[in-house]
Amino acid sequence: MEKLAILDCGGQYTKVIDRRVRELGVKSDIFPINVKSEDLKEYQAVILSGGPNNIGESQRLNFDKKIFEMGVPVLGICYGMQLMSDYFGGVIDSNIKKEYGQCEVWVDNTMPIFDGLEQTQNVLMSHGDNVRNTPNGFSVIAKSGDAISGIGNKEKKMYGFQFHPEVDLTENGMKMLENFIRKVANYKEVYALEDRIQTSIKMIQEKVGNNKIICLVSGGVDSAVTAALLVKALPADNIYAIHIDSGFMRKNESDVVCESLQKLGMKNLIRENAKDVFFNTIVETEEGPIGPLVKEVDPERKRRIIGEVFIQIANKVIERLGLDKENTFIAQGTLRPDLIESGNPDISGFAHKIKTHHNDVEIVRQARKKGLIVETNSDWHKDEVRRVARKLGLDEKIASRQPFPGPGLAIRLICHDKSSEVQITAQEVETLNSILDNTNHKGFILPIKSVGVQGDARSYRNLCLLEGDKLDFNWNEITSKAKEITDKINTINRVGYILNKSNFDGQINCYDMRIADENVDLLRELDSIVTTKLEDAKVSQTFAVLIPIGITKKYSVAIRTFVTNDFMTGKPGEIGKEVSKEKVQEIVNEIEEKFGDKIEFVIYDVTSKPPATTEWQ
């Protein structure tokens, strides 16, 4: 069988490369970058993934140099291109051009890897380093402005892309990968993907056997697919579906969840109301106690507390039911991106942690080591889960339901501690003003931090707000400026546009905020307005975020819309295209009418992923 080897440099998208190669009909396997070349003798081509490191001596990943001497075609992506360039004598520089998000590049379409494509391509960049001088024997095959974005050696059949062809935001990326596979590497066979449903059912039956299993269900498509697979694989009496209401659910969420679970055929359905436990529990960690949530600001600590408490509650339910804790399994709807972003060492030994997902905290990892965690979706991305849901016959309302993170509204409350604010520098303000020169917009840098992913590494950086034309702003201009801001000011990873005010007087203040009933209840109502008004928008996800900023009021609300397939990359829903301008105006009007005494700004998040993540925390 023809096979392709993918060498993992710790990239966020390594599994996406694997998925794309298989979708193109070639069997692929993932290896760590330090794999020995002799272990790759059965593979007819190699792809090197991106990664968070750089080529500098302190961060350079060790790898077998003979990989480039095996005589097989090689494609290096992002960091992989830099490794290739460095090996063949190229020069890497960190002071040329930083790019995060979708960019326009020129490509040499006389090269076989770009066969059938136009010379101008929209691609996804996420890098801080560049190839300055091409390596010996290689030519420049792609450029972003004056920066080198692709190199190639036609004779050696070796190519490098600074951009990521594997993700959705590289619009013709699949064609580029297909060209590499079929026209450069000359693969002939077509590999058939396995039946995912039957494979999952077999895995569940072999792992669980006649034991009992607890299924943690949020009501979203991920846990619904896990529950449906369990129902098909195991006797109904052996399955206990637990919905834990953490106090951070959306409006009426728990009622809807339990109703949908009953329709799935869940015989043993348990609803745990655990708000007080989540709000007030102190969790013991290797670094010492953390919590309770009502006193925490740091998003990583919030996520860790919530993940630990979920499993603690599940274990208490197991005890209450009189089940054997050492032989009772726990099922959860973990996706591949959850494990990748959590920096799970079993997925990649080189990937950086972007954010801890509640289903991959330490207590879960320990249970995995014991073999007690069942994760039917852990090899899939969101769009793949949706396809499985439809094949299983789940209601379309579940199959197409927007994601809702396990920590719920807790990570959409942007808690803040004024005492830890970092001073905004005059240089940052000057750079922002120069970017906005000759526009009708003003900008503000605020020490309100959110999580991003830049160059395959986590960022936790400031928020930039723009104002000027309210809802009449030019979308292309603003998203272009947002990208320029995050590319040029390395303390900013997210940009929002103020929809309800312009040319206002007074200073924007940041306020202390911790989780409390008042702000959770307020966000729940705001989120209901946003999601209800935009339920027909052509986006993958919509939600509201509560931010402790204002002039005379202590809160503002951000609208986050996101267009994606797999949630590894994506962009905000364009107002006037994917999102109705009239509906957004209705949101602004209703929020000002009902909550004008509390909410200062209504903001629209105009940031892609990268540099920002989908969620703010």
9 is catalytic: no
Length of the chain: 617
Residue 78 among the catalytic residues: yes
36-72: burial string, b at 16+ Cβ within 10 Å, e else: eeeebeebbbbbbbbbbbbbeeeeebebbeebbebeb
**Cα gap 540→403, rounded to integer Å:** 8
Amino acid, single-letter form, for residue 392: L
Q: What is the CB neighbour count within 10 angstroms for residue 420?
A: 10
Residues contacting residue 426 through CB under 8 Å, at least 6 positions apart: none
Point out the catalytic residue in the list 9, 78, 258, 510: 78
Q: Could you say which of 99, 103, 127, 166 is catalytic?
A: 166
Q: How far is CA 582 from CA 101, 472, 533, 537, 579, in A?
A: 28, 11, 10, 12, 9
Query: Is 134 strand, coil or helix?
Result: coil
**Rounded to an integer, what distance in angstroms lies between the CA atom of residue 278 and that of residue 358?**
13
455 torsion bin: left (phi>0), alpha (psi -120 to 50), beta (else): left
Rounded CA-CA distance 313/83 in Å is 47
Inter-CA distances, 36 with 15, 39, 328, Å = 20, 6, 40
- Strands of 213-216's sheet, edge to edge? 268-273, 239-245, 213-216, 329-331, 373-374
Query: 312: part of which helix (H) or strand (E)?
Result: helix 299-320
- Is residue 578 annotated as a catalytic residue, yes or no? no
Residue 333 backbone dihedrals phi, psi, to 5 degrees: -90, 40
Q: By the 8 A CB rule, do 605 and 445 touch?
A: no
Q: Are strands 27-32 and 3-8 parallel, antiparallel or unpaired?
A: parallel
Distance CA 332, CA 361 (A): 13
Per DSSP, the three-state class of 159 is: strand
Per-residue three-class SS string for 435-456? HCCCCCCEEEEEEEEEEEEECC
Q: Which of 2, 103, 164, 416 is catalytic?
A: 164
Q: Are 516 and 523 in contact (CB under 8 A)?
A: no
Positions marked catalytic: 78, 164, 166
